[in-house]
Amino acid sequence: MTVALRLVSLSFFLFLFACQSNPYQQGEILYVNFCSNCHMTDGSGLQNLIPPLNNSDYLKNKNNVIACAIRNGVSGELNIDGKVFNNEMEAIPVLNNIEITNIINYIQYTWGDGTYAQNPEIKKALEGCAGRYGTY
């Protein structure tokens, strides 16, 4: 292995380590990987197809809704700030409770009401998901 390659892999592991040790950064990285394709990096969504996540009023006090959306997916008609969405979001079952908590905190801290969700609160919310959001 060349020195340059070693340095690259070392910095990659340091990078991974740094991410894991900071929940906000983990939330941001997970958001970029799992959500931004559809909801956009700035959380603005896409026209009438994908709802925004950066509207602070809409997601205020809705940590449970975000948690269940990620775990179970979303379908059916949604009316968000006068705009109607009737599309489908697949469940993302690979994300565990802690990862979901970190994503929610990233969303709420960056665009939302700034409230801080704790793991136990999100764990409880996830146990209470009734099924697909939109079918409630």
36-75 footprint of ligand HEC as x/- string (CB under 6 A): -xxx----------xx-x-----x-----xx--xx---xx
Q: Report residue 39 as tokens.
A: 């909801």
CB of 15 to ligand HEC, least distance (A): 21
Binding piece for ligand HEC, criterion CB under 6 A, among 3-11, 19-27, 82-90, 115-123: 82-90
Q: CB atoms < 10 A from the CB of 74, how many?
A: 20
**How far is residue 100's CA from residue 94's CA, in Å, rounded to a whole number?**
10
Candidates 19, 18, 40; CA nearest to 28 is 19
Residue 125 found at the interface with ligand HEC (CB under 6 A): no
Candidates 70, 77, 80; CA nearest to 122 is 70
CB of 47 to ligand HEC, least distance (A): 11
Q: Looking at beta carbons only, is 23 or 134 nearer to ligand HEC?
A: 134
Find the binder of ligand HEC among 25, 54, 87, 97 (CB under 6 A): 87
Q: CB atoms < 10 A from the CB of 52, how many?
A: 19
